A and B are shown apart, each in its own frame.
Chain A
Amino acid sequence: MNGSVDLMKGIYQTSFAIDDIRLFLDTHPECPGALEKYRELVGCENKLTEEFESRCFPLTADAALDPDSWIKGPWPWEGAY
């Protein structure tokens, strides 16, 4: 799947940054800079996930509306990601 590895890498990186900024927001809930960055990255992650799922396969069970879709991805032992 062309570009799917890069997309997945982007999702890992973005989602990690979101988790880290969320921790910061636990102690600084009113920091405008952190809130802005947090929202920006959540938007990016949603876009990346949407693109990945439309091109490749569902990443969560919630996104697997079609029973055929969840066998489209590689099996864990195929070591895709």
Chain B
Amino acid sequence: MNESLKNRLRRIAEGGRLSAPGPAPDPGLPIAMAYVPEQNWRGIIPLDAGLCSGTVFEDLIKPFCAAGRRKAL
């Protein structure tokens, strides 16, 4: 009766809530390793826009659109 985790994930992915499995990782890159690229100073956006966006750095404005209900600012 128990649905396997693999099947559940596939079902969720097919429902459009998660992206489908992508291509295999580059053989030169080890899996489960994360990285954070360094942020460069590029000035800031206007102060009123910064407070509304949750950051004054244009590079970091990442609206959450996963559910497809919200549009990017």
Contacts and interface: CB of A to CB of B under 8 A. Distances in A.
B41 A20 contact: no
Interface string A1-38: 00000000110111011001100100110010110010
Contact of A33 (B41, B47, B55, B57): B41
B55 A34 contact: no
B1 interface: no
Interface of B: 38-39, 41, 43-44, 47-48, 50-51, 55-57
Given A13-B50, A14-B47, A20 B57 contact: yes
Contact of A17 (B38, B39, B41, B56): B56
A21 B56 contact: yes
